[in-house]
């Protein structure tokens, strides 16, 4: 990597660190440098301070009152979204595999770590939100009915719940991929998209984005554009939800079905269909010698809450949690 490109990448990573930790308050150079080391940038506190000074001048970061450290500005967050798009192509696929590597869930014992999404919302909206999430889960439009609820000041993985907020962790659909990979079946994320539901049954994908060519999570893209209609699905049986298409080797189909069936007994599912070799699923193509698997989006319950007009911030692919920390949603509502 050329020197100029390396600096651009470093600046992007500093802003990313601040964005990811914005709910924890201002972050100092030492904390940022430590996080950068995990991302392959071995620089000291002094170098971080140098870059922060220039980021302040550009209006991308700022100090908050008398507190030490920096926070990211709205302009800085916009820079993170727009900068280095070319270098981030394939970033989501890499993140998926990194999270799967950190999983250690065992189907036999029902114990271990899974991948979770995290939503933050105002505490006074928790009961109403959980009722909506429960309905989405009952319909089978979420990978699991298991949730973890955390109050302000408590930690969910690496995230601390801010004052006045409640955190709701839900099972991410990547957990299903992790179960298959853990049993020796290679899984490739292919598409994330909008799946049309008609009279309570999946009909076809009306839009989709390929994971391999995307710098963003495809489901986040559709969610941010408000293209779903979960409330229609709940009330009328028809609408649009978020779902993914993964594929596996055709020779592993029978074993995959057996694993998925076993997972259902552990409250892990969300699989809408498993195709035949090279069979297109709900309008999306599947390659020769591959079998497609359609899995509902893990953020579906949270996006349904947002459709109701409740302010909620959702981070997909966010945490690795021990499943023992999670409970069936029926215990809360």
Transcribe 76-105 into DSSP letters.
HHHHHHHTTHHHHTTHHHHHHHHHHHH---
Among 187, 255, 195, CA closest to 219: 195
Pairing of strands 290-296, 271-274: antiparallel
Torsion, Cα 84 118 122 236, to 10 degrees, reads 100
The pLDDT of residue 1 is 42
In the chain, which residues fall in CATH 1.10.10.10?
A: 3-88
Distance CA 124, CA 164 (A): 9
Least trusted range by pLDDT, from 34-38, 189-193, 245-249, 269-273: 34-38
**Residue 308 in this model has a pLDDT that exceeds 60:** yes
Residues 159-172 have pLDDT tens digits of 889 999 999 999 99
Residues 211-220 have pLDDT tens digits of 886 667 889 8
This prediction's pTM: 0.75
Among 169, 296, 172, 175, CA closest to 242: 296
257-to-167, 175, 182, 217 alpha-carbon distances in Å: 33, 15, 14, 26
Residues 212-247 have pLDDT tens digits of 866 678 898 899 889 999 999 999 999 999 999 999
Distance CA 279, CA 317 (A): 28
**Residue 89 in this model has a pLDDT that exceeds 70:** no
Mean pLDDT of 36-61: 86
**Residue 87 in this model has a pLDDT that exceeds 60:** no
Tell me the fold of 3-88. Arc Repressor Mutant, subunit A (1.10.10)
**Residue 128 in this model has a pLDDT that exceeds 90:** yes
Mean pLDDT of 62-74: 85
Q: Which CATH superfamily is domain 89-333 in?
A: mj0159-like (3.30.70.1360)
**Residue 144 in this model has a pLDDT that exceeds 60:** yes
First-last CA distance in the chain: 52
Is the C-alpha dihedral spanning 269, 302, 117, 159 positive or negative? Answer: negative
Among 2, 71, 59, CA closest to 31: 71
User: Is the CB of residue 307 less than 8 Å from the CB of residue 128?
Assistant: no
Mean pLDDT of 27-33: 90
Mean pLDDT of 6-31: 84
**Residue 76 in this model has a pLDDT that exceeds 50:** yes
Cα 12 to chain centroid, rounded: 20
**Residue 141 in this model has a pLDDT that exceeds 90:** yes
Q: Which residue has the higher pLDDT, 215 or 151?
A: 151
In the chain, which residues fall in CATH 3.30.70.1360?
A: 89-333
Neighbours of 232 (CB within 10 A): 15
Q: pLDDT band at residue 2, thresholds of 50, 70 and 90?
A: very low
Torsion, Cα 89 28 149 180, to 10 degrees, reads 30
């Amino acid at each position: 990597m050329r020197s100029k490109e390396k600096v651009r990448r470093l600046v992007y990573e500093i802003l990313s660190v601040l964005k990811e930790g914005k709910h924890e308050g201002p972050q100092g150079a030492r904390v940022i440098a430590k996080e950068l080391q995990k991302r392959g940038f071995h620089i000291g506190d002094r170098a971080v301070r140098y870059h922060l000074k220039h980021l302040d001048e550009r209006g991308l970061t700022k100090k908050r009152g008398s507190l030490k450290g920096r926070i990211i500005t709205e302009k800085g967050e916009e820079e993170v979204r727009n900068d280095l798009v070319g270098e981030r192509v394939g970033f989501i696929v890499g993140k998926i595999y990194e999270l799967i590597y950190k999983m250690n869930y065992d189907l036999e014992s029902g114990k271990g770590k899974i991948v979770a999404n995290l939503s933050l919302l105002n505490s006074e909206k928790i009961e109403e939100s959980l009722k909506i999430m429960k309905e989405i889960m009952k319909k089978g439009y979420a990978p699991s009915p298991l949730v973890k609820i955390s109050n302000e000041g408590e930690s969910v993985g690496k995230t601390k719940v801010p004052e006045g907020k409640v955190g709701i962790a839900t099972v991410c659909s990547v957990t299903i991929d992790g179960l298959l990979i853990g049993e020796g079946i290679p899984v490739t994320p292919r598409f994330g998209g909008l799946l049309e539901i008609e009279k309570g049954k999946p009909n076809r994908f009306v839009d989709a984005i390929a994971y391999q060519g995307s710098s963003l999570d495809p489901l986040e893209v559709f969610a941010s554009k408000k293209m779903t209609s979960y409330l229609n699905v709940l009330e009328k049986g028809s609408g649009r939800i978020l779902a993914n298409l993964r594929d596996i080797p055709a020779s592993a189909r029978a074993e995959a079905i057996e694993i998925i069936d076993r997972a259902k007994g552990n409250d892990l599912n969300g699989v809408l269909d498993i195709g035949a070799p090279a069979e297109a699923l709900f309008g999306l193509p599947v390659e020769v010698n591959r079998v497609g698997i359609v899995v509902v989006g893990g953020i579906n319950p949270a996006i349904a809450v947002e459709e109701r007009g409740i302010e909620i911030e959702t981070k997909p692919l966010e945490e690795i949690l021990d499943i023992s920390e999670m409970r069936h949603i029926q215990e809360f509502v």
